[in-house]
């Protein structure tokens, strides 16, 4: 068709448009990849937060289990300490029952010394009440009893600290039997609490393993989230670099379009100016008059060169018509 460009004729900026279209398609694809990576990063972050919530809740349960385990351990240690203290008390009583007073240079235990003092005080008081003696001897006995009681009073706090079971030290056999029974009971309680502690520790250990698993899962999700976001940021940086070239091509196309529009505007103005008649433009009328005057087609006064001849020719015709009018119309009979 007339006015339509041929198929093999391309626009002067066709290459730029193709380049721009290719770069814009690449940018769209890169943006889709970036958005997908960001979505995956957000999904990993949500999983991480969910696991961390489970981790916090599990930590609270572990704290309660740890408190129970510590209480069992404290009970176990108390039974063990009681058993050991009773056994130490038994060893002192065994030594006293066998008549041992300790080897030379060996310091006697407070419990053994206290038991010996109590036994001696009881014997002296009974002897003082049941036997008669001289005043001097009685006075010496009373002084001796006072010294023993004073020393026993000094030992009482330390004995009370380590003596777990109060027994009648005057009857060593009965005291030993009582302490043995108490020691056995404390040992049995110790063994029982030890089993409970082992069971609770197994449960607590399982909870610790699950805590470590939750922590590792949370760390894994966090690292994956960070990795996705870093990849997205890398693609975003490449998009920024590519957009610089895209904007350059767009600027070139805009400049070419503006140049064509400016050229078309100037061309249309020129064509429009040339298409004007003398009636539409004084400038065109002046140029037309100058052209006619220069060619001799027009003389001052408004009469042209051929006007006289044309007038003569027109004049002959006119006289004939006048004669015909004078004759009048022809009548038919």
pLDDT tens digits for the chain (333 residues)?
444 455 555 666 788 888 888 888 999 999 999 999 999 999 999 999 999 999 999 999 999 999 999 999 999 999 998 888 888 878 877 776 665 444 444 455 666 677 777 778 888 777 777 777 777 777 887 888 888 888 888 877 766 655 555 555 556 677 778 888 888 999 999 999 999 999 999 999 999 999 999 999 999 999 999 999 999 999 999 999 999 988 888 888 888 788 888 888 877 777 776 665 555 666 666 676 676 667 665 555 555 555 555 555 555 555 444 444 444 444 443
Domain boundaries of the chain, sorted by first residue: 34-216, 282-326
Which DSSP category does 131 fall into?
Answer: S
- CA dist 151 and 156 (Å) reads 9
Task: Compute the distance between CA of residue 239 and CA of residue 248 in angstroms, rounded to an integer.
Answer: 14
**CA distances for 55 relative to 69, 212, 219, angstroms:** 20, 9, 11
Which are the contacts of 48, defined by CB distance < 8 A and separation ≥ 6? Answer: 218, 221, 222, 225
DSSP-derived 3-state class of residue 278: coil
H helical segments located in the chain: 14-97, 110-130, 135-162, 172-274, 282-295, 307-327
Interhelix angle 14-97/172-274, nearest 10 degrees: 170
Backbone angles phi, psi at 271, to 5 degrees: -65, -45
The structure tokens listed for 2 are: 């007339």
Instruction: Give which of 78, 289, 60, 277 is closest to 193, Cα–Cα.
Output: 78
Please list, residue by residue across 16-36, b when 16 or more beta carbons sit within 10 angstroms of its beta carbon and e when fewer do.
Answer: beebbeebeeebeeeeeebee
CA 219/CA 25 separation, integer angstroms: 37
On whether the CB atoms of residues 305 and 296 are closer than 8 A, the answer is yes
Token pair of 280, please?
């539409």
Query: What separation in angstroms does the CA of 215 have from each of 40, 205, 223, 226, 272?
Result: 21, 15, 12, 16, 82
The CATH code of domain 34-216 reads 1.10.287
């Amino acid at each position: 068709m007339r006015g339509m460009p041929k198929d093999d004729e391309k626009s002067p900026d066709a290459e730029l448009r193709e380049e721009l279209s290719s770069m814009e398609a690449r940018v769209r694809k890169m943006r889709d990849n970036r958005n997908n990576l960001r979505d995956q990063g957000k999904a990993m972050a949500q999983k991480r937060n969910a696991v961390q919530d489970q981790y916090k809740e599990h930590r609270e349960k572990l704290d309660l289990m740890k408190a129970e385990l510590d209480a069992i351990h404290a009970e176990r240690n108390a039974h063990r300490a009681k058993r050991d203290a009773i056994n130490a008390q038994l060893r002192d009583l065994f030594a006293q029952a066998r008549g041992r007073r300790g080897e030379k240079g060996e310091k006697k235990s407070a419990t053994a010394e206290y038991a010996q003092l109590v036994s001696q005080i009881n014997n002296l008081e009974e002897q003082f009440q049941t036997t008669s003696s001289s005043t001097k001897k009685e006075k010496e006995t009373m002084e001796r009893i006072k010294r023993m009681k004073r020393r026993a009073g000094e030992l009482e706090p330390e004995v009370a600290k380590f003596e777990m079971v109060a027994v009648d030290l005057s009857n060593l056999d009965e005291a030993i039997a009582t302490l043995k029974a108490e020691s056995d009971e404390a040992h049995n309680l110790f063994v029982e609490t030890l089993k409970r502690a082992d069971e609770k520790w197994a449960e607590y250990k399982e909870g610790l393993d699950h805590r470590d698993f939750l922590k590792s899962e949370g760390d894994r999700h966090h690292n994956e989230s960070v990795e996705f976001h870093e990849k997205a940021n890398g693609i975003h940086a490449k998009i920024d670099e590519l957009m610089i070239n895209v904007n350059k091509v767009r600027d070139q196309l805009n400049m070419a379009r503006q140049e064509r529009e400016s050229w078309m505007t100037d061309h249309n103005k020129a064509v429009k100016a040339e298409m004007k008649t003398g009636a539409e433009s004084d400038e065109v009328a002046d140029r037309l008059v100058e052209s006619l005057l220069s060619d001799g087609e027009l003389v001052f006064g408004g009469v042209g060169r051929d006007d006289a001849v044309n007038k003569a020719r027109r004049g002959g015709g006119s006289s004939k018509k006048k004669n015909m009018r004078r004759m009048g119309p022809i009548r038919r009979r």
